[in-house]
Structure 1
Amino acid sequence: MKKHDQDFIKRQNRLTVFEIIKNQHPISRASIAKRTGMSATTVSRIVGELAEQGYISESEQVSSGLGRKSTLLDIAASSVLSIGIELDTHQIGIGIVDMKGDVVFSEAYPRTADESPDHTIVRLESIIGDCLKRHEIDRSKVVGIGVGLPGIVNHKQGIVLFSVQLGWKNIPLAERLKVLTGFNVAVDNELKVKALAEHLRGAAIGSSRTALLGFGNGVGSSLILEGQIYRGDWNSAGEIGHTTMDPNGALCECGKAGCLQTYINISSLLGEAGKIRPIRTIDELFEARRAGEGWAVHLIGRALEYMAITVNNIVCMYNPDSIILSGELIDRFPGIYEEVEALCLTRFVWEPVRGSFHILRSRLNERGVIIGSGLLAQDWFFELD
């Protein structure tokens, strides 16, 4: 076997062992060997290397039956940190994430919808530097930056190919932010990193086929198959918000008519509400609904029906075992979850598949993209390390 092949296998074995410890800690060496098929000697060698680098720790011995004892391995959570960023139309969210996916701190900053890519990137550099300084974060522990944003992203090169919400096209975000900050940068679609976070740390732990739906400033989905993000050929899998519901319907901000998201997303709802009377925020719209104003009851009721239709379409296409409802509308108005679930089970989900999946709430809520982006940056670091 050629040396580079041997080196590749060693790197893959090391990454496999480390991922098992990260995701299934605490765990024994014997359990790792059994799960991977590696020899006890190989596992012990890899564990020794990871411990020497400070990435893992050993716990006290515990009984494993009949008087036998084994040392359990755990993650040294604070030995590696990453910066997770959520970049949205009206807000920049930032947090420091440790190896267990816990958020050390998080903050949010306003952003205007017409803010240019150049201005946003310069602001990101300033925000990152300020946060690290104020929270006294050791830069030597920070292994990279992860950014989650709406749109189609070339995740391998960190290029934002097209984002309707941000108004960006062909922006080399990873390259430009790395030049400014000195950190390696991973960039991906916001729902893909959020689904990854829910799979590893949230509502979908243990699921083998998870679909996450996001309802907010846009409408989208992401699918996790056996722990891996399903991307499609162009990393655009899941852009369900731009499926056509009515070719003669309202114009979408993408330029097409009758896209699914024109019936659900916040800007479309506010635009429709504005035909009746001035409504500035989604909170005002829901208040009008609570007050029993017929037009508001109809508008939000229709949006919830299209959310249930979206669930049905995803279930029929991908047959997931879990559907996670997330996004600003779900996070800010928790009652929506029960209403959509009821619509799914009574009216809109195809009867033969109704019992084949669970509808879940996002456990991570507004922190999901920050956690997922931070974990993505860590994954990149350990793949290269």
Structure 2
Amino acid sequence: MKKHDQDFMKRQNRLTVFEMIKNHHPISRASIAKRTGMSPTTVSRIVGELTEQGYLLNSEQVSAGLGRKSTLLGMVNASVLAVGVELDRTRMSIGVVDLQGNMVCSGKYPRVPEESAEQTLMHIGAAMEELVQQHTIDRTRIVGIGVGLPGIVDNEKGVVLFSVQLGWRNVALAEQLKELTGFEIAVDNELKVKALAEQLKGAAVGSSCTALLGFGNGVGSALILDGEIYRGVMNSAGEIGHTTVDPNGTMCECGKTGCLQTYINISSLLAEANRIRPVGTIEELFEARQAGERWAVQLIERALIYMAITINNVVCMYNPDSVILSGELIDKFPDICDEVEQLYFSRFVWEPLRASFAFRRSMLSEEGVMIGSGLLSQNRFFALA
């Protein structure tokens, strides 16, 4: 047990030093020791290992005042690559990211909603190989694959416990995808990995408590507290789309009635629209609104009201310093963020809290889940290495 604890602490220390350099480079060994509370000897040992393995580089020595010069440490961004995958109902997006979460290359691929988990995983493997070969990526530098998807995920075991949008239950995704590709696999909820990306290089940089909300094919949220994702007991914290807002409301695809997402998500909006006339895409619905068709105006206005209600509920529960809106609806129609803020904050966001948080749109847009999934895979690699 003692050896196990020592090994765990060594891995944690290594990951802490790695994250410190990645997020604050260029940085000196002395500064790392001061910020982390580790001894200079421990920091030097870990830095030596990471440098020897080709992950770090030493920059020119700089002098801070009259003291001795310090060598600043930086990252070799291209030394490690990871594949980030976003799975959704009708498509999958695959990208290769470097140590800083920069997108090296990416591609989008269709997914048939009715296909099985096994078929989807085979498509991921084939598309990844195609992407790597097409862009001449050095496969030996890829340390793993991260997958972000909607639903409840056992992130430790890599099992998809339940995903309404994908129609999956108890899918051992990490185990099966590793068999297909040979890479280590990390799996998590899509908004949680997107929150990781926003924390590193997006709208949540510098925030100590951020609520990320996703509005698209589903409705969900993720909470970042002091740089860490709040997960809950089952890693299901943030499934706000399935909170009940009207027990006599519309039937949700999860099997309950009156779920919040039935008033906001794309499939529900289209189902309502088709009761009036045939509408095939969310773009057509917004075009009808733009044209002044009253039913479309009312339908989207109701969705915006429930977005404001969602923001109010999250702000009241968690008191974040920033709220980030993301998801397909926000990416395709960014102006609705301004509409929600200007038209509905005064009505639905509790007055004492209106000025307590910054209201932002995701800076990473459609790349956020791929970047976050790739970074998740890298974190897993450095924690276990």
With the length of structure 2 as denominator, give the TM-score of the two structures.
0.97
| Structure 2 CA distance for partners of 1:111 and 1:56, relative to 1, 3 Å | same
1: CA distance, partners of 2:52 / 2:351: 55
**Counterparts of residues 64-79 of structure 1 (less than 5 Å):** 64-66=64-66, 69-79=69-79
What residue is the counterpart of 1:134 in the other structure?
A: 134
Greater mean alpha carbon deviation, residues 137-146 or residues 64-73: 64-73
Check whether the contact 1:308–1:343 (CA below 8 A) recurs between aligned residues. no
Tell me the equivalent position of 2:379: 379
1:157-197 deviation digits (Å, cap 9, x = unpaired)? 11111111011111111100000100011111101100111
Partner of 2:109 in structure 1?
109
- TM-score, normalization by structure 1: 0.97
1:10, distance to aligned residue in structure 2 (A): 3.0
Offset of 1:336 from its aligned partner?
0.6
Q: Deviations over 1:112-164 (max 9, x none)?
A: 21122121111111111111122111111111000000011111111111111
Indicate the residue corresponding to 1:50 in structure 2: 50
Query: Is 2:17 aligned against 1:17?
Result: yes
How far off is 1:3 after superposition?
4.7
* Partners of 1:22 and 1:100 within 8 A in 2: yes
What are the residue-to-residue correspondences of 1:226-241 with 2, within 5 Å? 226-241=226-241
Aligned length: 385
Distance 1:178 1:67 in 2: 51
Q: Write the letter of the residue equivalent to 1:195.
A: A
Taking the TM superposition and a 5 Å limit, the aligned residue runs for 1:194-273 are 194-273=194-273
For 2:108, give the aligned amino acid.
Answer: A
Call closer, same or farther: CA 1:300–1:4 in 2, change over 3 Å: closer
Q: Provide the C-alpha distance between the structure 2 equivalents of 1:245 and 1:108, rounded to a whole number of angstroms.
A: 35
1:59 is paired with a residue whose SS is: strand
Deviations 1:188-224 (A, max 9, x none): 1101100111011110011111110000000000111
| Structure 1 residue 343 displacement after superposition | 3.7
**What's the counterpart of residue 186 of structure 2?**
186
Which deviates more, 258-267 or 119-128?
A: 119-128
Q: Structure 1 26/251 Cα, relative in aligned 2: closer, same or farther at 3 Å? A: same
Q: Which residue of 2 is the match for residue 357 of structure 1?
A: 357
Name the SS of the counterpart of 1:313 in structure 2. helix
Query: What per-residue deviation string (whole Å, max 9, x for no partner) do you get for residues 60-86 of structure 1?
Result: 223423475322111111100000000
| Paired letter, 1:305 | I
Aligned partners of 2:150 and 2:175: how far apart in 1? 18
Q: CA RMSD in A?
A: 1.4
Aligned partner of 1:322: which letter?
A: S
- SS in structure 2 at match of 1:60: strand
Instruction: State the distance in 1 between where 2:299 and 2:263 align.
Output: 9
- Partners of 2:374 and 2:71 in 1: CA distance: 29
For the 8 Å contact 1:78–1:99, the answer to whether it is kept is yes
Measured against aligned partners, the alpha-carbon deviations of 1:259-292 in whole angstroms (never above 9, x if no partner) come to: 1001000011111111111110000110111111
Structure 2 residues not aligned, in runs of 5+: none
Change (3 A) 1:54 1:308: same
Alpha-carbon distance in structure 1 between the residues aligned to 2:4 and 2:173: 32
Bigger Cα displacement from structure 2, 34-43 vs 95-104:
34-43
- Unpaired runs of 5+ in structure 1? none
Contact conserved, 2:14 with 2:382, CA < 8 A, in 1? no
Match of 2:148 in 1: 148
Structure 1's 274 and 7: CA in aligned 2 closer, same or farther, altered over 3 A? closer
Task: State the one-letter code of the partner of 1:357.
Answer: F
Maintained 8 Å contact 1:312/1:344: no
Whole-Å separation in 2 of the counterparts to 1:68 and 1:81: 35
User: CA 1:2/1:248 → structure 2, altered by over 3 Å: closer, same or farther?
Assistant: closer
Q: Is the 8 A contact 1:311 1:344 kept in 2?
A: no
- SS of the residue corresponding to residue 100 of structure 1 reads coil
In the aligned structure 1, how far is the partner of 2:375 from the partner of 2:200?
Answer: 9
What whole-Å deviation, never above 9, does each CA across 1:227-274 have from its counterpart, x for those lacking one? 111111111111000111111111111111111001000011111111
Shifted more, 284-293 versus 110-119: the winner is: 110-119
Structure 2 match to 1:176: 176
Cα deviation, residue 17, structure 1: 1.2
Q: Which moved more, 1:3-12 or 1:112-121?
A: 3-12
Match of 2:331?
331
SS for the counterpart of 1:187 is strand
